[in-house]
Chains A and B, each alone.
Chain A
């Protein structure tokens, strides 16, 4: 139950940030993949099955705010969530630099998968005049690695943990 609440809070916070970014500037949406950060965080903390399920759910939220084929982002995020959980069980991804590389690779994989599905279905380029989207893995990994470090420290110092 506690885990369910934590995940729900995580998804809600991601959704709030997504909504605020959407209102402030469309560029922020291209630069930061907030839902994927939630998926990676909980996939590392739990396991690959949890990551895949959460990835699918967050991807479908993303898809519901897009005109087009419903399920494309869901599919990409499902695979990302699974990989995040699976790799983190094999390698220690908690040190900051390693965490940065880990998030960067995962977001890049998700981006490539999504771009492939998107190009295949719509027969058009994913950039659509939005070159900033190419920086998404880098900027998301930077923010994500710092954020995860802070979250781990808070969790460690919290008397509830």
Chain B
């Protein structure tokens, strides 16, 4: 084929591919936060592969440890860690619940309900574009995962919520550090209310606090308010590390989340609507 014809063909293919991608990007606009079928398809195909690869290497690692090192100690330690993990979650959630629940009977009823609804999950991947946006976990619809379920770290601090796509054994978690996220919050001491969203740099912004507001200070803890209808109240999020008055109506407040990206391998998904309990 002559060179100019070949180049023309190549250029046509390139333009067609660019056009295809632009259409792909455009069709997401009316969908909002909902994923397109194309994206869901890709995620459904490749996330189990990712899960499988990690399980494979994880199994090899476990095999090595179990056979050549402290086999019994390892198993026992693992079991105790699992138990400690669940107890820590339960303890944290009950602590919050106790602040509101009045009768002892009510507390008893809810203890079992909470314990049964903590689902430990492992992070199998971080966001490919921005680490602070999302993470993929190894639990999916077969484990009872649904959209908007609350996700906590090993110490019971808020990490985010489940967003789509959800496959049979994988799901995506939107982190509170994502700039598109929004959490109804208040400051622990004076209950100053606002909306928390991520800044995509690993920190969060405490928005909509008027510059005239005096009842909020540096180092103060920030907890969920429960008014957003997704996150239950009084879950710890982080502490205020920076507060500045601006020329606009609202203060600029930065919050450092308690959850640590370095230890974000193990999470707890709350599979019940905690707002009912609290």
Contact = CB atoms under 8 A, between A and B. Distances in A.
Given A61-B42, A79-B18, A129 B128 contact: no
Interface residues of A, number: 44
Contacts of B57: 20, 23
Interface residues of B, number: 47
Contact of A73 (B128, B174, B201): B128
A34 B172 CA distance: 22
Contact of B21 (A22, A61, A71): A71
Nearest to B202: A129
Contacts of B10: 47-49, 52, 82, 85-86
Contact of B46 (A15, A78, A125): A15
Interface in A39-90: 47-49, 52-53, 56, 60-75, 78-79, 82, 85-86
B25 interface: yes
Contacts of B163: 67
B36 A70 contact: yes
A78 B131 contact: no
Nearest to A77: B21
A159 interface: no
Contacts of B49: 15
Contacts of A73: 128-129
A117 to B, nearest CB: 8
A67 B134 contact: yes
Contacts of B22: 71, 75
The interface centre, meaning the residue of A15, A129, A130 with most chain B CB atoms within 10 A of its CB, is: A129
A65 to B, nearest CB: 4
Contacts of A72: 25, 129
The interface centre, meaning the residue of A22, A64, A72, A129 with most chain B CB atoms within 10 A of its CB, is: A64
A73 B130 CA distance: 12
B129 A56 contact: no
Given A26-B126, A70-B24, A70-B38, A56 B17 contact: yes
A52 B17 contact: yes
A118 B179 CA distance: 13
A119 B66 CA distance: 47
Nearest to A22: B125
Contacts of B53: 15-16, 19-20
Contact of B132 (A52, A71, A128): A128
A26 B136 contact: no
A56 to B, nearest CB: 5
B44 to A, nearest CB: 9
Given A15-B50, A65-B46, A82-B14, A128 B200 contact: yes
Contact of A78 (B21, B124, B128, B132): B21
* 8 A-B pairs with least C-beta separation: A67-B134, A64-B42, A71-B24, A66-B129, A75-B21, A70-B39, A129-B201, A65-B128
9 contacts: A29-B126, A64-B47, A65-B43, A66-B128, A66-B129, A67-B178, A67-B180, A126-B130, A128-B202
Interface of A: 15-16, 19-20, 22-23, 26, 29, 47-49, 52-53, 56, 60-75, 78-79, 82, 85-86, 118, 121-122, 124-126, 128-130
